[in-house]
Structure 1
């Protein structure tokens, strides 16, 4: 498959070891897609600091195309992360840095470029909501990570443009998760997935609910598990054989997503490539 991530890139700064790792929902998607054998590209805004340079260098090393990215004067996105009782905990962030304070308006040339892909992925922290109507007009399916701090108003704003919706729902009980998935589907998404952390995931396709248990491992670092789950599911579902039955396709894609998410938990950072930093 040929896929593109449009939106956020950050570094996750691990304060306990003074090391920063490339990350961000959309950037992670492009890297995981590359790891899974896809032709992947990233399109977004980089700042002009060490974090921005590290992310660009890493993507180039991994073979992710960044030819349609912009560089703008300012601080790249970052999040401060600590280790608490064996789990990574986000402490604070700069809210995406330059990506939040600057727009990436899509030109006619950009839209033609997007048309060359089979799937575009973005996220709530990418700040590209105003561009969604343009992207939808290309006919390229859109996947979107709503994370866990969505509101009903935000969902109603974004979901009509999204083909594949993902929401972090570990803070909700099963009844509320299913109600939420139905709501998002009614707004236009074909497939809606609620990820539940250590409890797995629930998927709704408009007719049936599907559940997926996690593949349990002795995790080194759980950062990136959700993004890797999303990526593996999408590549297996969207890139499926036309002859595959829907039930079988969904179950197989969910299972492979859980397996790939488990492998991500065995790596420091979202996918490695740490760099020491100084405050």
Structure 2
């Protein structure tokens, strides 16, 4: 078994890229939670504002087909199905000390998005591939950088989805399209990024590593522009595919 999950992966990848990153979420009380916490401590990622609730950690069973990850089943987030992350005043002050906040559809933070938006920290949101027009309209106005998995859409459908996100107030909207790479829209132009072709060991975390490296480079070196940031994202995503799990640290299950 390997530690992972979209927001957690983001914190790990950002730390790997030289940033000071933290993770704010809910831990269960099983052996899986203990392993994840131990790994984050080893990686020196701050988890001081995390909560602990009695119950089972979220997990997904993943198969590998020629190095490509295939999700088989999951427990739908474990305890996260029943316990929303309650953000206290100290949590909000803590969040405001960072340059960027990243969350996702599977963080179950929908109700808190307006509150997070009001904190004034730029927000990145991963919609995965499980989104509806209604969901995009609900969450989109509270997001600065949106990422959507669009392999199931045609190119014209993907472009229209990105246009919708910009119309909702996003600064940038990105569609990841598997082997076809990534497509970005900034309200004026579309940018295409081809993937770095490699013999993948495990593609788990490829999308997360792409968006993390893209945002880290964009925010650090804004003067280099969008294309340079996209290239950095593709490069880092390729390297993450050479590691088992999202970022390694496997344990016998």
Asked if these proteins are the same fold (TM beyond 0.5), I'd say yes
Give the superposition deviation at 1:134. 1.0
Instruction: Specify the alignment match of 2:11 in structure 1.
Output: 30
Q: How does 1:127-276 map to 2 (within 5 A)?
A: 127-241=108-222, 244=223, 248-276=224-252
Gaps of 5+ in 2: none
Q: How many angstroms apart in 1 are the aligned matches of 2:234 and 2:226?
A: 12
Q: How many angstroms apart in 2 are the aligned matches of 1:118 and 1:100?
A: 29
Give the superposition deviation at 1:85. 4.4
Q: How many angstroms apart in 2 are the aligned matches of 1:47 and 1:206?
A: 41
C-alpha RMSD over aligned residues: 0.9
Give the superposition deviation at 1:86. 4.0
Please tell me whether the aligned partners of residues 100 and 126 of structure 1 are also in contact (alpha carbons under 8 angstroms).
Answer: no
Determine helix, strand or coil for the equivalent of 1:210.
Answer: strand
Q: Does 1:70 align with 2:51?
A: yes
Determine helix, strand or coil for the equivalent of 2:199.
Answer: coil
Query: 1:201-246, CA deviations, whole angstroms, 9 ceiling, x for partnerless residues?
Result: 00000111000000111111110000000000010112225xx2xx
- TM-score under structure 1 length normalisation: 0.89
Give the superposition deviation at 1:253. 0.1
Instruction: Specify the alignment match of 2:97 in structure 1.
Output: 116
Give the superposition deviation at 1:83. 2.3
Determine which structure has the larger strand proportion and give its number.
1
Give the superposition deviation at 1:260. 0.2
Please say which of residues 77-86 and 98-107 is displaced more in the overlay: 77-86
Determine helix, strand or coil for the equivalent of 1:134.
Answer: helix
Instruction: Specify the alignment match of 1:102 in structure 2.
Output: 83
Please tell me whether the aligned partners of residues 64 and 202 of structure 2 are also in contact (alpha carbons under 8 angstroms).
Answer: no
Gaps of 5+ in 1: 1-19
- TM-score under structure 2 length normalisation: 0.98
Query: 1:162-210, CA deviations, whole angstroms, 9 ceiling, x for partnerless residues?
Result: 0000000011111111011001110111100000111100000011100
